[in-house]
Amino acid sequence: MNFTPKLPDVGTTIFTVMSALAREHNAINLSQGFPDFACDPLLVELTHQYMQQGYNQYAPMAGLPALRERIAEKCALLYATHLDPDTEITITAGGTQALYTAISAFVHPTDEVIVFEPCYDSYLPAIRANGGIPIPIALQAPDFGIPWDEVRQRLSPRTRMIIINTPHNPSGTILTAKDLQQLDQLTADTDILVLSDEVYEHIIFDGQAHQSVLRYPNLRQRSLAVYSFGKTLHATGWKIGYCIAPPNLTREFRAIHQFLVFSVNTPLQYAIADYLSLPTRYTELPHFFERKRDLFLQLITGSRFTYQQARGSYFQFLDYSAISSMPDTEFARYLTQHIGVAAIPISVFYSQNKPQQSVLRFCFAKQDSTLHQAAECLMSL
Ligand SMILES: Cc1ncc(COP(=O)(O)O)c(C=O)c1O
C-alpha cells in the first residue's frame, strides 16, 4: 500500500526507550517527568463520588462551567486578569492536546513557527503534521535564556506563531518580566500569535513569580496559554488541562477541539472543580518541589556533576563533563545499565544543531527515598 507518512522521522520516543531500559535494568527512573508518589486521596474520593452519582456522560464541549469558573478565579488571584469562563477557557485532554489543537487551529501549510530548543517533544511534530515549518532557535547555555536579537532576525512575513515555555522543560529555567516585555515589543503591530506553555506555572522556586502571558494585557490578546492539571495535581495519567485565549482565538481553538476530542472526562472535571475551591491545593506546590530540588542537589554535593540549580519545573540538568567524555545518549545508557539511574540526554530535545553538551535531565518529582537511592548511585561515579 502506498502512503506518505506525515511524520517520517518520528520513531519510539526517548522517554519510552529510557523507561523500558530502566525497567530492564531495574534502574531508578528519573527520566520521564512524572511523580512516583500518589495524588491527594481527596481527589480520588471526589472522582469516585461523582462516578458513583452517575456523572459519566459527555461533558459540555468547552468543559464543565463550574471548572471553568474556578480556573477564572484562580487566574484573577494569580495573574490579576479577568477571564470570561464562557468564551476564554476550554478544558482539554491534557496540555499536549491543548498544544496540538492550538497549532492545528492556526498554523497553515508553509507558516513558520519559532520554537526555542531544547524543547518539549510535542511542538515540532505538531507543527509539521499541520504543514508548518518549525524555525528552531537555540536557547543560550548555561542559563538557557532566549536570544532576543536572533528572534528579531528570524521573524519573517510568514511567522505565524512563537512558542514559549516557562518554567521550562527540560532546562528548569524561567522567563523573566524582561523576556515577556521583549516578546510584547517584538510582536506588537504584527499578526504573530504566542503559544505559551505554562504547564509548570506552580512549580517555581526561590520566591520568583511565574511570568504568565496573562499578566500582560497586550500579549494576552495574541496568546493561547496552556496548562495541565496532571502537573498541578500530581496526576499526569489523568490527562486533563486547559487552554486560555481571548474569545476570537478561543472560537478557532474550539473549532478544532470539538472534532479532536469533543469533550473531556466528566467526573474528573467535577472533582477538580470542587478541589480547586481550596486554593491551598496549589499554593503549596512551589515549596513542595523546591524542597525536593534542594534535597536532590544536597544529596549529590561532593559528586563531580556540575549544575545551575533549576529555577522552576521538576527537572534538573546535570553536567557530567568532569566524569566522562561519552556523548550524552551513550552516557545516559551507561548510567542506566551500570549505575542504576535513568535520565534523559539533552540532545534529544533538539531537532538540529544538537549541542555537544555533556548534560542529562533528571526528574526530581520523586519520593525522598527515591532521590536518596538515586543520589547514592550517582555519588559512586
Ligand atoms: C513543557 C510541557 N508541556 C506540556 C506537557 C504535557 O502535559 P500533559 O501531560 O498534560 O499533556 C508536558 C509534560 O511533560 C511538558 O513538560
Q: Is residue 335 part of a domain?
A: yes
pLDDT of residue 281: 76
Are 253 and 147 part of one and the same domain?
A: yes
How far apart are the C-alpha atoms of 235 and 218, rounded to whole Å?
A: 33
Are 88 and 181 part of one and the same domain?
A: yes
Q: Is residue 183 part of a domain?
A: yes
* Distance from Cα 94 to the centre of ligand 1, integer Å: 7
Mean pLDDT of 113-122: 96
Counting residues of the chain whose pLDDT is more than 70, the rounded percentage is: 100
∠ CA(130), CA(133), CA(139), 5° rounding?
A: 120
Cα 137 → chain centroid: 18
* Distance from Cα 238 to the centre of ligand 1, integer Å: 12
* Distance from Cα 169 to the centre of ligand 1, integer Å: 9
C-alpha to C-alpha distances, 254 to 111, 241, 259, nearest whole angstrom: 20, 14, 9
Indicate if ligand 1 lies below 6 Å from the C-beta of 120. yes
Range of the domain at 218: 41-280
Q: Is residue 187 part of a domain?
A: yes
Is there a contact between 378 and 303 (Cβ–Cβ < 8 Å)?
A: yes
How far apart are the C-alpha atoms of 296 and 316, rounded to whole Å?
A: 9
pLDDT of residue 14: 81
- The residue among 247, 280, 313 that closes a domain is 280
Are 257 and 290 part of one and the same domain?
A: no
Indicate if ligand 1 lies below 6 Å from the C-beta of 230. yes
Indicate if ligand 1 lies below 6 Å from the C-beta of 290. no
Q: For ligand 1, what atom is nearest to the CA of residue 97?
A: 11
pLDDT band with cut points at 50, 70 and 90 for residue 17: confident
Are 326 and 245 part of one and the same domain?
A: no
If we measure between CA atoms, which residue out of 238, 241, 283, 273 comes closest to residue 46?
273
* Distance from Cα 99 to the centre of ligand 1, integer Å: 9
Q: Read out DSSP for 131-199?
A: T-EEEEEE-BTTTTB--HHHHHHH--TTEEEEEEESSPTTT-----HHHHHHHHHHHTTS--EEEEE-T
Are 270 and 306 part of one and the same domain?
A: no
Are 33 and 51 part of one and the same domain?
A: no
Mean pLDDT of 44-71: 98
Mean pLDDT of 46-72: 98
Are 78 and 225 part of one and the same domain?
A: yes
Mean pLDDT of 220-237: 97
Q: For ligand 1, what atom is nearest to the CA of residue 236?
A: 9
pLDDT band with cut points at 50, 70 and 90 for residue 215: very high
How far apart are the C-alpha atoms of 128 and 146, rounded to whole Å?
A: 23
- Among 167-171, 305-309, 352-356, 363-367, the least confident range: 352-356
How far apart are the C-alpha atoms of 304 and 320, rounded to whole Å?
A: 7
Are 93 and 46 part of one and the same domain?
A: yes
- Among 71-80, 181-190, 259-268, 347-356, the least confident range: 347-356
Q: Is residue 7 part of a domain?
A: no
Are 86 and 165 part of one and the same domain?
A: yes
Is there a contact between 285 and 202 (Cβ–Cβ < 8 Å)?
A: yes
How far apart are the C-alpha atoms of 140 and 308, rounded to whole Å?
A: 13
pLDDT band with cut points at 50, 70 and 90 for residue 12: confident
- The residue among 222, 248, 280 that closes a domain is 280
Cell numbers at 62, concatenated: 468547552
Q: Is 315 helix (H, G, I), strand (E, B) or coil?
A: strand
Are 71 and 135 part of one and the same domain?
A: yes
Are 46 and 35 part of one and the same domain?
A: no
Q: Is residue 300 part of a domain?
A: yes
∠ CA(202), CA(207), CA(208), 5° rounding?
A: 65
Strands 159-165 and 344-345 come out as unpaired
pLDDT band with cut points at 50, 70 and 90 for residue 11: confident
pLDDT band with cut points at 50, 70 and 90 for residue 368: very high
Q: Which residue lies with its CA nearest to atom 4 of ligand 1?
A: 95
Q: What total of structural domains would you count in the chain? A: 2
Is there a contact between 177 and 211 (Cβ–Cβ < 8 Å)?
A: yes
Summarize pLDDT for 166-195 with one digit per residue, the tens.
Answer: 999 999 999 999 999 999 999 999 999 999
How far apart are the C-alpha atoms of 342 and 21, rounded to whole Å?
A: 8
* Distance from Cα 324 to the centre of ligand 1, integer Å: 31
Q: What number of other Cβ atoms are within 10 A of residue 350's Cβ? A: 17
Q: Any idea what DSSP says for residue 352?
A: S
Q: Is residue 3 part of a domain?
A: no
Tell me the whole-structure pTM to 2 decimals. Answer: 0.97
Indicate if ligand 1 lies below 6 Å from the C-beta of 94. yes
- The residue among 280, 310, 341 that closes a domain is 280
Are 137 and 150 part of one and the same domain?
A: yes
State residue 347 phi and psi, 5-degree precision.
-60, -25
Indicate if ligand 1 lies below 6 Å from the C-beta of 349. no
- The pLDDT mean for the chain works out to 96
| CATH (domain of 325) | 3.90.1150.10
Q: Is residue 1 part of a domain?
A: no
How far apart are the C-alpha atoms of 271 and 261, rounded to whole Å?
A: 20
Give the HSE-up count for residue 236: Cα atoms under 13 Å, Cβ half-sphere.
12
Q: Is 255 helix (H, G, I), strand (E, B) or coil?
A: helix
Indicate if ligand 1 lies below 6 Å from the C-beta of 165. yes
Q: Is residue 6 part of a domain?
A: no
| CATH (domain of 81) | 3.40.640.10
Summarize pLDDT for 274-314 with one digit per residue, the tens.
Answer: 999 886 778 899 999 999 999 999 999 999 999 999 999 99
How far apart are the C-alpha atoms of 252 and 105, rounded to whole Å?
A: 6
Residue 19 has pLDDT above 90, yes or no: no
Cell numbers at 184, concatenated: 510584547
